Amino acid sequence: MIAGEHIFWITSRAAGGAALILASVAVAVGLMVSAKRQSANSNKRDLRAIHEALSLTTLAMVVLHGLSLLGDAYLNPGIAGIAVPFVGFYRPLWTGLGIVAGYGLAALGLTYYMRDRIGAARWRKLHRFTALFWVLAIVHTIGAGSDSAQLWFLIASGLVVVPAAALLGLRYLDRWWNAPVGARVPDRA
């Protein structure tokens, strides 16, 4: 394989893998920022700055992941294939889920800069949906990723995806566990 012939495909693969890893770390750091633990304000500020940088870098990698495919002569997805969910010919379900995930992550991530207009409480509720789009990105990677079955990729991704998923699971378990008893079990009257 000559790298020059496949530079756009290689770039897209690298950017997609980087986006998944960065997004996973961003999710984990975001969960730490929003944790109810007692900590110094400077620690929370530092974590917020790290979370913001990781999130913006993730979005840049998502854009590079899609745009670099426009130069791939073999795949040749066209603008619609990288921008419109489920219309491309390459694994349309999995690719479509990735496009939806990219849009969702971008929309929810960029609302950070509008949280004063949205309102802090409403913004926090909206921002929780980021986890859903992160999971869609993982599903996209498994279904459409050409490296998703490679041991090196599974290890590299697992090192950041599994801890972030565990933190997310603990967060929802904590919310369920600490919810009022009536809110946990629906009435069967």
Mean pLDDT confidence for 67-78: 94
Whether pLDDT at 42 is above 80: no
Q: How confident is the model at residue 178 (pLDDT cuts 50, 70, 90)?
A: confident
What residues contact 9, with CB distance under 8 A and at least 6 apart?
68, 69, 72, 74, 75
Model-level pTM? 0.87
Give the separation between CA 97 and CA 86, rounded to whole angstroms. Answer: 8
137 within 8 A of 101, measured Cβ to Cβ: yes
Of the candidates 119, 64, 66, 110, the residue with the CA atom closest to the CA atom of residue 88: 66
| pLDDT tens string 127-170 | 999 999 999 999 999 999 988 899 999 999 999 999 999 999 99
Mean pLDDT of 40-58: 89
